[in-house]
Structure 1
């Protein structure tokens, strides 16, 4: 331990010294002066605004699929007080070619929308810094939250967390952030129970994708435009390796079955929507590797009624008829479109939080239908959509944006309240 940090550490209050969570010694030292630093940053921001200067806002982005802040970014672009930038941050555990692929895609995405994009924070000192993931492997060491003591750290989860895992609420970003923008009161309660700071920095503002789901689709991304063919999305999580924290992934079990099923159903078309990290996990898997993985992905683009989606998926969901998946976040996100959804992931009831249990109850599971039976129900040939009312109640109770505004408007109002 650094001698200076060691001296400061012994002066910390006992609760901070004895903290047995994911925070490092350096993080615990930073927690001591957190509120004082934040007050100073807020005062600096007010002074900048008083001088007619703009507030520098950095949004860290690691891939297109994890970028869900178009509306908030657009609001800031339209407000003369803000100077927002999208900053690419590579995941340190990704291979160089994977990092470059994500960089190119996020840059293209930003260019198409007119969003200012940079590959680093060089020559751009942020007053506010937005994180989308809490994980240590999400950003390089120099981009970790503890490096930015002169900025207000904000965290907007890239996904709906449905578990009660401590790492989802008690990592470095959760405790060092100025504000955590959470989607529901149940998530606030999880933070109060699991986070060291008891969720004192939580603001309930809704989920960022709610803004996008509330508007009609801009494009029809489906291969065949004939809507008489039922449109089925297969969403696949990346957790296939033995050391993955999550354990919901069932790709290895369903890979061949889903591809064969798709080719055997000319009355449907299927979109394969893998998690952005699935391919790199397949590269590492002893039974798959790079050649087999690349060939499998390519196979989904060969048939007339199948195709691969590896980027933005909002319009895909909006224009689909049903989802089959094993992803925690999709358990909730697809409820915004109010279409039948079948969860085929591993059973996780023992780790679901109350929000997760409610969301899972709005999904069909294999206790209700097999994949084939689910497709028959969706096509109207067997049974009825008996969970429709449950999905709608889930939306009214937990997913509707608070204060009757959009996610982006709620955050902008909160910044206005603090900065004037």
Structure 2
């Protein structure tokens, strides 16, 4: 069935059909999609690994190992530390390829993501090839010229042109560092662990053991090639010795610095966002505490366009809302790199997925927001442990209580947070994840002679 017809048919089902008719039709459509994808998944999971073995055998002993990183969304780019680690020696040659984000959010979002990534890579001094305005034929030729031994994708979803996703997955040794801390569990979990892309990957560098166990249970390919390393993006969040700087707005006196990080997503099988219920009240709260608290709103990049289309918000209200957080002298919005922001803040209030674990790395007070329509039912075992290390907020009254405790010099839930850091996080980050990834690849590409020497020294 053509994709356009299928989408239109689904829309009709959702809008006009009664539940007793809708349910079996949706099941049939889902089965049809599954049957269409199944042979491709079998190929990716069972046949493609044979090609990976041939590619690896051919590249054994390569010096340097050519590594390509594909980027299209700033929120999905979590491999700065891997690129930096590879650039410190001569064993790797790295290139970052900047592509065009393609999703339902439109060209304005794609252009903004391109702008943010371009600026970020320039500041980092990375070697970048920009394919944003190239067609697929030009992109293929560019990749052919680079001829990477390994390609890192930064998002498993098809949110980029075919030449930078499906074709790379089927032709190269591909690696994936998750763009989030993999704390959620929803639906049948196949969207997170068992898409075609997940089965096509040569290596997955998982953030924790819970993630690997999900691959083992859910992915057709199992946990073959899944290596638990921790999340490289968290490395600088554990640093305590160097000085961090963030451009907080100048204030008349000392104020509490709080980050509010609202998520955008709320759908039947994954409900995280609380802003649609608490947004107006958060604005009022920020105004009431303007003499005591300085705020940074850290929205998900998809939040604003989603709010514009939300029946309870719309464009005018959303624009006014974002204007308040941008122009108030006690608040601002941050959509770029957040390492220095986290390190120079005093606390966070949020309903994010990945930040649930990431902010705990800086060992500061945090409140996680839930309402009647969002719940911890969408968290996996690792996520539940992280949640237990946070204060829980279910209302504006809870948030105000949290702020007042902080203003009084208290540290809510400190003991549980310390326990989570010491028992769950520190074992993962005792050795930097970026170094683990580099060593894994060096071992894979070592020549037969080098591997023999390594065995002798073990």
Residues 308 and 403 of structure 1: CA distance in aligned 2, closer, same or farther (over 3 Å): closer
- Match for residue 152 of structure 1? 173
Residue 291 of structure 1, CA deviation: 4.2
Map 1:15-26; keep pairs closer than 5 Å. 23-26=37-40
Aligned length: 395
- What do residues 173-220 of structure 1 show as CA deviations (whole Å, max 9, x unaligned)? 221111110111222222222222221221011111221112245322
- What do residues 68-120 of structure 1 show as CA deviations (whole Å, max 9, x unaligned)? 22221012122323221222233321311211111111011101111112223
Q: Secondary structure at the match of 1:149?
A: helix
- Match for residue 416 of structure 2? 390
Contact 1:325 1:345 (C-alpha < 8 Å) held by counterparts: no
1: CA distance, partners of 2:101 / 2:38: 20
Gaps of 5+ in 2: 2-31, 132-138, 447-458
2: CA distance, partners of 1:291 / 1:212: 38
1: CA distance, partners of 2:128 / 2:208: 30
- Match for residue 442 of structure 2? 416
TM-score between both structures, scaled by the size of structure 1: 0.86
Q: Secondary structure at the match of 1:234?
A: strand
- Match for residue 379 of structure 1? 407
- Match for residue 127 of structure 2? 116
Map 1:343-382; keep pairs closer than 5 Å. 343-346=368-371, 347-366=374-393, 370-380=398-408
Q: Which moved more, 1:319-328 or 1:22-31?
A: 22-31
- Match for residue 72 of structure 2? 62
Contact 1:92 1:139 (C-alpha < 8 Å) held by counterparts: yes
1: CA distance, partners of 2:428 / 2:359: 19
Indicate yes or no: 2:340 matched with 1:318: no
Q: Secondary structure at the match of 1:56?
A: strand
Contact 2:73 2:101 (C-alpha < 8 Å) held by counterparts: no
Indicate yes or no: 2:242 matched with 1:236: no
Q: Secondary structure at the match of 2:332?
A: strand
- Match for residue 87 of structure 1? 97
Residues 182 and 270 of structure 1: CA distance in aligned 2, closer, same or farther (over 3 Å): same
Residue 327 of structure 1, CA deviation: 0.7
Indicate yes or no: 2:152 matched with 1:130: yes
Contact 1:231 1:321 (C-alpha < 8 Å) held by counterparts: yes
1: CA distance, partners of 2:253 / 2:94: 39
- Match for residue 274 of structure 1? 299
Residues 148 and 183 of structure 1: CA distance in aligned 2, closer, same or farther (over 3 Å): closer
Q: Secondary structure at the match of 2:257?
A: strand
2: CA distance, partners of 1:372 / 1:89: 43
- Match for residue 179 of structure 1? 203
Residues 22 and 210 of structure 1: CA distance in aligned 2, closer, same or farther (over 3 Å): farther
- What do residues 300-343 of structure 1 show as CA deviations (whole Å, max 9, x unaligned)? 12221111111111111111111111111111111101111111
Gaps of 5+ in 1: 2-17
2: CA distance, partners of 1:335 / 1:217: 19
- RMSD (Å), alpha carbons: 2.6
Map 1:287-326; keep pairs closer than 5 Å. 287-326=312-351
2: CA distance, partners of 1:388 / 1:145: 45
Map 1:217-256; keep pairs closer than 5 Å. 217-224=243-250, 228-240=254-266, 242=267, 246-256=270-280
Q: Secondary structure at the match of 2:367?
A: strand
Contact 2:235 2:429 (C-alpha < 8 Å) held by counterparts: no
Contact 2:276 2:312 (C-alpha < 8 Å) held by counterparts: no
TM-score between both structures, scaled by the size of structure 2: 0.80
Match of 1:77 among 74, 81, 87: 87
Residue 139 of structure 1, CA deviation: 2.2
